[in-house]
Amino acid sequence: MEQISIYDTTLRDGTQSESISFSVEDKLKVVQCLDEFGVQYVEGGWPGSNPRDIEFFRRARSLQLKHAKISAFGSTRRAKNKAQDDLNLRALIEAETPVVTIFGKSWLLHVFSALQISEQENLDLIEDSVAFLVSHGREVIYDAEHFFDGYKQSPEYAVKSLQAAKRAGASRLVLCDTNGGTLTLELSEIVKSMCREFPGLIGIHTHNDSELAVANSLAAVISGALQVQGTINGYGERCGNANLCSIIPNLQLKMGYACIPPDQIVHLTDVSRYVADLANLQQPKYLAFVGLSAFAHKGGVHVSAVMKDPVMYEHLNPESIGNSRRVLVSDLSGRSNVMYKAKALGIDLDERSEEMQRIVESIKEKEFYGYHYEDADGSLELLIKQQLSGWQEFFELGGFKVIIHKDSDEANTVSEAIIKVKVGDEIEYTASDGNGPVNALDSALRKALEKFYPQVRDMVLVDYKVRVLDGQDGTSAKVRVLITTRNAHSSWNTVGVSPNLIEASWKALVDSVYYYLTKVSPQEQKKKVETL
């Protein structure tokens, strides 16, 4: 099995993506994560370019890594400098990394317009810079920036730029599709030619501006490239870099190449989500392989087939890369979707029963009204259980009133909720204020129920989202409220829909409380009944 080295540039090229900024601690955690995963190279950033990267490289020296080599990144020397006097090259040496990656120009347009030097001067920059770094005992990777654009303008000169790096001792010559505009067929032919010219030395670095970064990387490997550069989740400037979370499983599980240790591929999804968390971004749910929706099934025909044999609608086993199958329930659902979901929830259902029919009809009716259960498993579970025999209500609403008070000369707005609930034969009136009407209503409901269900004190509302449905109706439009609640052990989502924002919020809040109470242990439920 041929080995393909994986070079991760999330901490350098990935941080050029909008909205991404890693702290030093974040960067150190990413390095350790990628090392445990089995990545061979991790590019840490530009030493000397900012205090954060200086501190990162200082602290990275003490990391005990098993697989990964840390690389410092920079450019060839400036045209007016000698290599030994160039501050950029000195900073690369002072980073004390075992690997240094530098980029140089392969495109005459850049040589003449950006650097404004001669062809030979540019070749000298490349050769001098690589030789200087090699003389200091570094493994040097040469990134040929804009290589494919340069090759299409002048193949001879693009090749000369690689020859200069090779003569100086570069261990890898990486062909960069920096603008991301090269199509797969032409890229493949160019890579084949370069692999014949420089056997055993070629790597690939692609961008996703034409939505081809992953395809181009795979085609490059087929054409003979031995190293793939990319980022976790495809983070990167403009449209992003080649996504290693797609490249690695394609190469290793489908194409027969070795990328990372075989026992680590199962952690791919965890790596994707961990890096997204450190970047303070939500992992895109539609990412191939690792996204939340990558193995989500919604159509009833699909679900029915997956229940018989998953291979009919899944290109590989989701567990093999640490993901999991999800069956979504919506107005497109049939009995198969509900059966799969009920089984996952430990609910025994007969597919041909009247209860099943009521559940399916109720789901379709509510989805038509505006409910959305794909992200509200708590409400979905309640909907199913409420159609079954033996269901008991935990409380009844006698009514509530929400008051919002604001004086014209005061900055603060005061919200108060008054609520009446009935539990068994007892009626409880309570009032509570809050930061807003929903917070006040939430607080009043819990306050009313604590006497009967003290466990509601352990619930915390952690997220609240509102979406306007049928926006053409303006302020009279229905709204969908999705809330996330958690306790010390888990979290759950519930949903409510109404033309009235407070009513929609109430429905989601009640579902949240009901869901939690259904999870209370039988012993606690028994105590509650005895109290009543």
pLDDT in tens, 349-366: 777 777 787 888 888 788
CATH of the domain at 39: 3.20.20.70
Alpha helix ranges (H) inside 179-267:
184-197, 213-222, 244-249
Q: Are residues 269 and 314 in the same domain?
A: no
AA letter at 48: G
- 186 lies in a domain? no
Q: Are residues 253 and 314 in the same domain?
A: no
Verify that 127 and 261 share a domain, yes or no.
yes
CA angle, residues 481, 486, 489, in degrees to nearest 5: 155
- CB 109 within 8 Å of CB 100: no
Give the domain range for residue 351: 296-365
Q: Is 326 part of a structural domain of the chain?
A: yes
161 and 26 share one domain: yes
Identify whether residues 518 and 451 lie together within a single domain: yes
Q: Are residues 131 and 235 in the same domain?
A: yes
- Report the range of poorest mean pLDDT among 94-98, 122-126, 276-280: 276-280
Considering the domain architecture, whether residues 93 and 237 belong to the same structural domain is answered as yes
Q: Which residues of 22-60 are buried (b: 16+ CB within 10 A; e: fewer)?
A: bebebbbbbbbbbbbbbbbbbbbbbbbeeeebbebbeeb
The domain boundary residue, chosen from 365, 388, 411: 365
Q: Are residues 11 and 96 in the same domain?
A: yes
Q: Is residue 351 part of a domain?
A: yes
Q: Tokens representing 258?
A: 């070795």
Task: Share the mean pLDDT of the chain.
Answer: 89
Tokens 């604590």 correspond to what residue?
Answer: 450
Residues 124 and 254 in one domain: yes
Question: Considering the domain boundaries, does residue 289 fall inside one?
Answer: no
| CATH number for position 462 | 3.30.160.270
**Does residue 349 form part of some domain?**
yes
Place of tokens 């890898």: 172
What amino acid is encoded at 415 in this protein?
A: S
C-alpha angle with apex 80: 77 to 84, nearest 5 degrees? Answer: 50
- Indicate if 274 and 415 belong to the same structural domain: no
Number of domains within the chain: 3
**DSSP H or E run through 468:** strand 460-468
In a domain, 374, yes or no: no
On the question of pLDDT at 518 being above 50, the answer is: yes
Among residues 220, 247, 278, the one where a domain terminates is 278
> What tens digit of pLDDT does each residue of 380-435 get?
888 888 888 778 888 988 999 998 887 666 667 888 999 999 998 899 999 998 88
257 and 354 share one domain: no
Burial environment of residue 80 by CB neighbours within 10 A (0 to 12, 13 to 18, 19 or more): exposed
Q: Which of 472, 481, 519 is nearest to 500 (CA)?
A: 481
pLDDT at 49 over 50: yes
Do the strands 227-230 and 172-177 form a parallel or antiparallel pair, or are they unpaired? unpaired
Q: Are 147 and 175 in contact (CB under 8 A)?
A: yes
Higher pLDDT residue, 307 or 228?
A: 228
* 466 and 411 within one domain: yes
